[in-house]
Chains A and B, each alone.
Chain A
Amino acid sequence: GDSVTQMEGPVTLSEEAFLTINCTYTATGYPSLFWYVQYPGEGLQLLLKATKADDKGSNKGFEATYRKETTSFHLEKGSVQVSDSAVYFCATHTGNQFYFGTGTSLTVIP
């Protein structure tokens, strides 16, 4: 099956810093790619997705581009806020199944 490798955390940044969380995947087909975010005490929430090569998903200032040639889907944000502190999960979806990375914990300090 598919597998997802994402940058290990925890990551600690100052407010307004630039964020990159790396994610690479292996897949036998042509998966859709996702970033989910989990705030403390809440369920995973869809942050953004991309369904085909070169698509860019974006939401709340976060962006990720589906790079087929490097099998990557890195998450970026130009200026993080304290409210962005959460755990971020990269995932693929092939057929009817999700494959998740291990999650990256982000803490943004004022």
Chain B
Amino acid sequence: GAVVSQHPSWVICKSGTSVKIECRSLDFQATTMFWYRQFPKQSLMLMATSNEGSKATYEQGVEKDKFLINHASLTLSTLTVTSAHPEDSSFYICSASDGRGGWDTQYFGPGTRLTVL
């Protein structure tokens, strides 16, 4: 149980285009979803937290107009990277929580590798 999927697993796009990444909780209702990014040889860094039906809360330094997060249902959250540039190339990971186990119980997706040319 508690499986989180991400789609696509990897994507290559041209500079200036937008890319949407989906995060789905397959067998539970995700009241809260989290988006992280990871640069090579660096830690996962939290980008934003979203609750179903509410606007996402972004971490300091994360551009909310560039990284659009939509948590429209209890099983789906999307991250759209708008007007992507090569510096946005990274590994994006989502996690989800059903709220039962507390803030530290999160189930992670396998990640999406974005390469912007």
| Shortest CB distance B57–A (Å) | 10
B111 touches A43 (CB 8 A): yes
Q: B80-117 CB contact bits vs A (8 Å, 1 = yes)?
A: 00000000000001010000000110111111000000
Is A102 among interface residues, defined by CB-CB distance under 8 A? Answer: yes
Q: Chain A binding site: helix, strand, loop or mixed by DSSP?
A: strand
Choice from B46, B49, B103, B110 contacting A43 with Cβ under 8 Å: B110
A20 beta carbon closer than 8 Å to chain B: no
* Contact partner, B93, options A32, A44, A45, Cβ 8 Å: A44
The yes or no answer to B43 lying at the interface (CB within 8 A) is yes
CA distance A102 to B38 in the complex (A): 9
In the bound complex, how far is the Cα of B41 from the Cα of A101, in angstroms? 10
Which of A58-66, A72-80, A91-99 is the contact stretch? A91-99
Contact residue among A32, A43, A102 (Cβ-Cβ distance under 8 Å from B41): A102
Given A43-B4, A89-B44, check contact A98 B110 (CB 8 Å).
no
